Structure 1
Amino acid sequence: MKTDFFNDQLENNAILISPNQGERYEIGNNSFTFKLTSEHSNDQLGVYEIALAPMSIGAKLHYHRYMDETFIVKKGILTFETFENTLQAEAGSVAYAPRFSPHGFRNDTEEEVILLLIFNPSSKREGFFRGLHEILNDTPIDAEKYLKLYNKYDSYPVDCSDMIPTRE
């Protein structure tokens, strides 16, 4: 059998995710919705819509070894923290945290913040969010279990004594 090196083999794999489509989870007054999952993208890309309630924390300062994370602010003002700076990202802003770049994010306002969170590669990130839903809805929050979940899904807190996304 002769291999054809000159013509592309086309596939019918394009998809459309509608605004109200996707698996949704709630943690307190915050929510996340799976838009484009690891299953859709063969683990190459994950897109998740996050809604942060007023004065809530998405994640404290952490980094990833094997994936990049991009934040696209759709509504509100997101506080985006890096190793050395705290920045205010308004609607339309894009923040990018490549591998080994400490970052965190939160809502420091009295208005809801909506953002798209994109992981490349996605590395089955849905498992992380499902685990987060379970751990952060328990009282009290088990820090050891939280750290184990974080590390399993390529997330490493900069300060393990201050990693749980709650305000004191």
Structure 2
Amino acid sequence: MNHIKENFFEDKLEDNASIINPNEGEKLELNTISITFKVTSEMSNDQLGVYEIFLPPMAIGAKLHYHRFMDETFIVNEGILTMQVGDKEYEAKPGTVTYIPRFTPHGFKNDTDKTVKLILIFNPSQKREGFFKGLYETLNEVPIDPEKYLKLYNKYDSFPIDTSNMIPIRE
């Protein structure tokens, strides 16, 4: 029998860092919303997802929903993001960090005439890139199929509070 002696006293160091520069990463354009994948589920072994979002004037990022298995963090870099948490709304100015633990109803939108730039972090990431790609497909269909939208939401750990008002478009 071949026994490989494991060293319990020394760490094995590796060079596995990822450096993602500005304007790098896979980019999706959802109508007028731009999403760039910075740290993906594949890179982080599903532990972390980091996404850069450009939310144009009067755009809705997501209506009120919650997650069961992941936490979400918003970091506003430019503009004013309107955050809804439960039944309250507040303005998140540049530099604001909003941590949304699982089972916390939340939504976000841009109610201003300037683009909002933010970083969105999911932990764990749960292959969130598939959600964004499915969203791209679903929201580009005319008309938008609410059943398909809900199926996508549920597959990727997102649960709308009101299924009759879940599509992220202004009435």
TM more than 0.5: yes
Equivalent residue for 1:83?
A: 86
Superposition pairs of residues 90-101 of structure 1, within 5 angstroms: 90-101=93-104
* Cα RMSD (Å): 0.7
Superposition pairs of residues 1-168 of structure 1, within 5 angstroms: 1-168=4-171
- Aligned partner of residue 69 in structure 2, secondary structure: coil
Report how far residue 68 of structure 1 moved: 0.3
TM-score (norm 1): 0.98
1:112 partner amino acid: T
1:116 partner amino acid: I
C-alpha distance in 2 between matches for 1:123 and 1:29: 25
Deviations 1:76-109 (A, max 9, x none): 0000101131010001100111000000000000
C-alpha distance in 2 between matches for 1:127 and 1:141: 18
Identical positions, percent: 65
Structure 1 runs of 4+ with >6 Å offset: none
Report how far residue 2 of structure 1 moved: 2.5
2:74 partner amino acid: F
C-alpha distance in 1 between matches for 2:75 and 2:139: 24
C-alpha distance in 2 between matches for 1:27 and 1:9: 42
Deviations 1:124-164 (A, max 9, x none): 00000000000001111110000000000000000000000
C-alpha distance in 2 between matches for 1:164 and 1:136: 9
Give the greater-gyration-radius structure (CA).
2
- Aligned partner of residue 6 in structure 1, secondary structure: coil
1:83 partner amino acid: G
1:97 partner amino acid: I
